[in-house]
């Protein structure tokens, strides 16, 4: 059961799941994100009495009780929904796996690439907006938490991502977290803090993330 948020409750905006970028009406580029982490965070935030807006890409999950859900498809849809919800928000948690690229054109009819008899085809891609970096630019005192999925030298890359995107925290995980029940993550703060959460369920990780306070100001 989630308590009804009181009028002074924090407004927490959470993104979850993949985005889809259509090539034509029936084909798209996307990724393996299940959305489970973001939905677990939404559940944990509602359970502690936050007012929660969950902005979800295409996923097959039930909306947690007490959560307002906004469904989106593409990265640009998600950006618009986040900007709208963040206006009166206190916290943004970007757990969505946002596609970095989209086809330069969405064809109105099916892409009939075999028609010209060639054995190869290419798709021109253009860069999607970075939702986290865009919103963090004007965040003021509000808390912004990003995720980083890294392979190899994850800590160094995640620290660089935190700086580049202007987030307060980045939650580093590796590809084993995709579609799995348990994950090991490291929460990296703007203040240089690092907190490792080892092989825990997504609900347990979510419970830690919704209690994060603003990191100490950097020197």
The catalytic residue positions are 31
Number of residues forming the site for ligand CTP (CB under 6 A): 14
Nearer of residues 2 and 92 to ligand CTP, judged by Cβ: 92
Residue 16 found at the interface with ligand CTP (CB under 6 A): no
Q: How far is the CB of 126 from ligand CTP (least distance, A)?
A: 12
92-121 footprint of ligand CTP as x/- string (CB under 6 A): --x-x-x-x---------------------
> Of 41, 46, 89, 131, which lies in the binding site for ligand CTP, with binding defined by CB under 6 A?
131
> Of 149, 197, 208, 212, which lies in the binding site for ligand CTP, with binding defined by CB under 6 A?
149
Task: List, as one string, the DSSP characters of the chain.
Answer: --PPPPTTPPEEEEEESB--EEEETTEEE-----SHHHHHHHHHHHHTT-EEEEEE-S---PPPTTEEEEE--SHHHHHHHHHHHHTT-SEEEE-SB--SEEES---SS---GGGG--S-----EEEPP-HHHHHHTT-TTSEEEEEEE-SSSHHHHHHHHHHHHT-SEEEEE-GGGTT-SEEEEEEEETTS-EEEEEEEEHHHHHHHHTTPPPPPPP-
Contacts (CB under 6 A) with ligand CTP, residues 49-88:
75
Residue 148 found at the interface with ligand CTP (CB under 6 A): yes
Residue 174 found at the interface with ligand CTP (CB under 6 A): no
> Of 28, 39, 86, 147, which lies in the binding site for ligand CTP, with binding defined by CB under 6 A?
147
Nearer of residues 87 and 114 to ligand CTP, judged by Cβ: 87
Residue 143 found at the interface with ligand CTP (CB under 6 A): no
CA distance 107 to 156: 40
Could you list the residues that contact ligand CTP (CB under 6 A)? Answer: 75, 94, 96, 98, 100, 128, 130-132, 146-149, 161
């Amino acid at each position: 059961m989630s308590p009804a948020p009181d009028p002074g409750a924090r407004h927490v905006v959470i993104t979850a799941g993949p985005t889809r970028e259509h090539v034509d009406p029936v084909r798209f580029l996307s990724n393996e994100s299940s959305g489970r982490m973001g939905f677990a965070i939404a559940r944990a935030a509602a359970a502690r009495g936050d007012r929660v807006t969950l902005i979800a890409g295409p996923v097959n999950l039930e909306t947690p009780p007490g959560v307002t859900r906004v469904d989106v498809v593409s990265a640009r849809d998600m950006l618009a929904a986040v900007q709208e919800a963040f206006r009166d928000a206190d916290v943004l948690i970007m757990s969505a796996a946002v596609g970095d690229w989209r086809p330069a054109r969405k064809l109105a009819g099916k892409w009939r690439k075999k028609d010209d008899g060639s054995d190869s085809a290419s798709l021109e891609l253009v860069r999607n907006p970075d939702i986290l970096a865009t919103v963090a630019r004007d965040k003021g005192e509000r808390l912004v938490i990003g995720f980083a999925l890294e392979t190899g030298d994850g800590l160094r890359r995640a620290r660089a991502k935190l700086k580049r995107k202007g987030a307060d925290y980045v939650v580093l995980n590796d590809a084993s977290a995709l579609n799995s029940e348990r994950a090991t993550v490291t929460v990296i703060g703007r203040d240089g803090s690092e907190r490792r959460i080892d092989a825990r369920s997504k609900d347990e990780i979510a419970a830690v993330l919704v209690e994060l306070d603003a990191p100490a100001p950097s020197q």
